[in-house]
């Protein structure tokens, strides 16, 4: 009877485990239409903009997408990787995936990366993994602090793609790691090393997290609490007094009330308070991107110095450094427990 059954596509090859690193996204270029496509997808996500669609759609299409792509395109052009003709976020995330693939090569694991908005799309990579024989897939959103606007929407996109698959793999999702001891250690050491490399001693170190509307937190999003906990744990790891690390929130958008204090206004007011030497990092991002390289490292510096500041330093994200990759590998192996 078994001879009459069709041969499974996977019966002639061993089943694989897939690990998919998920990040937010990036446009394919700095031109108007590339940025508009990216922003259109990003700002149409109901997880990101919770305004009722009937109200938000005309605002987005008639006003926001008519003007914002030019401004954002100019910002992207300042930090674009000209050698690779690509955005730093995609370059770094690809490097993270390649590095992790080398580390897990002996375990028969396929590693790749995808973007929630833009390319490579989550659906295309999941389909590639399924076609390669992956019957178990670990989704790893690279967001240390959980938010419905980041971790949840990245997983949503993956689940949307899986919903269309006739033969679905078994799936696990990696948790937020805002308080993971290894993450706290690696982040703390990156701060220690970043400051040691400076030719001045910062009077204050800002941990600037991507902002979120206050209403999202009021509805139950744990993001703000996760941000403060990360900074608290890092301060304890470094043995610093609480006054040396300050939490701020960046990237405000729209007229609604956002989490405070705001990074931009903080940088503008610190010199008036006698704080003229600062260092800043962005722990909400595991890879440098426009929000860190342009908004903070360029725009933040200009604002601080124009307000009377004397010394400003940006400490890079963890990116694909060896310590960062050691941490990512450890997290992935932990989440693959029972599959390997």
Which residues 6+ apart lie within 8 Å of 197 measured at CB? Answer: none
Specify burial of residue 35 (Cβ count, 10 A radius: 0-12, 13-18, 19+).
buried
Binding residues: 210, 291
Binding residues for Fe(2+): 210, 291
Per-domain boundaries in the chain: 16-176+322-335, 181-314
Coil, strand or helix at 32: helix
Coil, strand or helix at 134: strand
pLDDT reading at 3 higher than 80 = no
Average pLDDT (141-170) is 95
Specify burial of residue 282 (Cβ count, 10 A radius: 0-12, 13-18, 19+).
buried
pLDDT reading at 9 higher than 50 = no
Q: Among 147, 154, 263, 267, which residue's Cα sits nearest to residue 213?
A: 147
Kindly report, residue by residue over 177-190, the tens digit of the pLDDT.
999 999 999 999 99
- Confidence class for position 13, pLDDT limits 50, 70, 90: low
Instruction: Answer yes or no: are the C-beta atoms of 312 and 301 closer than 8 Å.
Output: yes
Asked if domains 16-176+322-335 and 181-314 share a fold, the reply is yes
Kindly report, residue by residue over 103-131, the tens digit of the pLDDT.
999 888 999 999 999 999 999 999 999 99
Instruction: Answer yes or no: are the C-beta atoms of 101 and 7 closer than 8 Å.
Output: no
Sheet holding 277-281, edge to edge: 245-250, 204-210, 277-281, 311-314
- Confidence class for position 293, pLDDT limits 50, 70, 90: very high
pLDDT reading at 2 higher than 50 = no
Specify burial of residue 167 (Cβ count, 10 A radius: 0-12, 13-18, 19+).
exposed
Distance CA 153, CA 16 (A): 26
Better pLDDT: 218 or 45 = 218
What was the pLDDT predicted at 246? 98
Lowest mean pLDDT among 16-30, 51-65, 94-108, 134-148: 51-65
From the candidate CATH numbers 2.30.40.10, 3.40.50.150, 3.40.50.300, 3.40.50.1400, the one assigned to the domain spanning 181-314 = 3.40.50.1400
What was the pLDDT predicted at 8? 46
Average pLDDT over all residues of the chain = 93
Q: What is the CA radius of gyration of the chain?
A: 21
Of 45-54, 159-168, 307-316, the range with the highest mean pLDDT is 307-316
What was the pLDDT predicted at 72? 94
pLDDT reading at 10 higher than 80 = no
What was the pLDDT predicted at 14? 64
Say if domain 16-176+322-335 classifies as CATH 3.40.50.1400.
yes
Q: Among 131, 108, 95, which residue's Cα sits nearest to residue 23?
A: 95
What was the pLDDT predicted at 295? 98
What was the pLDDT predicted at 60? 84
**H or E element in which residue 250 lies:** strand 245-250
């Amino acid at each position: 009877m078994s001879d009459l059954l069709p041969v499974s596509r996977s019966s002639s090859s061993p089943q694989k485990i897939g690990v998919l690193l998920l990040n937010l996204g990036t446009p394919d270029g700095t031109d108007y239409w590339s940025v508009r496509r990216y922003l259109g997808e990003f700002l149409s996500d109901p997880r990101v903009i919770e305004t009722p669609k009937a109200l938000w759609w005309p605002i987005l299409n008639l006003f926001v997408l008519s003007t914002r792509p030019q401004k954002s395109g100019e910002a992207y052009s300042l930090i674009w990787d000209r050698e690779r003709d690509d955005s730093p976020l995609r370059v770094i995330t690809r490097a993270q995936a390649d590095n992790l693939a080398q580390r897990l090569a002996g375990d028969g694991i396929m590693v790749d990366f995808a973007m929630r908005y833009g390319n490579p799309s989550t659906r295309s990579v999941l389909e590639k993994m399924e076609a390669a024989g992956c019957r178990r897939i670990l989704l790893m959103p690279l967001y240390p602090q959980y938010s419905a606007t980041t971790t949840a929407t990245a997983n949503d996109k993956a689940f949307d793609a899986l919903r269309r698959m006739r033969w679905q793999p078994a799936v696990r999702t990696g948790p937020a790691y805002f308080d993971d001891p290894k993450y706290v250690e690696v982040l703390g050491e990156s701060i220690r090393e970043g400051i040691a490399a400076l030719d001045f001693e910062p009077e204050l170190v800002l941990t600037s997290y991507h902002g979120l509307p206050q209403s999202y937190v009021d509805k139950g999003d744990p993001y703000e609490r996760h941000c403060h906990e990360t900074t608290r744990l890092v301060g304890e790891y470094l043995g610093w007094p609480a006054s040396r690390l300050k939490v701020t929130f960046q990237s405000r958008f729209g007229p609604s009330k956002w989490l405070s204090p705001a990074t931009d206004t903080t940088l503008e007011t610190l010199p008036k308070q006698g704080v003229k030497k600062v260092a800043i990092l962005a722990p909400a991002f595991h890879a440098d991107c426009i929000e860190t390289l342009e908004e903070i490292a360029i725009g933040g510096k200009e604002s601080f110095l124009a307000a009377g500041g004397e010394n400003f330093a940006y400490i890079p994200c963890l990116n694909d450094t060896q310590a960062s990759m050691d941490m990512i590998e450890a997290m992935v192996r932990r989440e693959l427990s029972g599959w390997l």
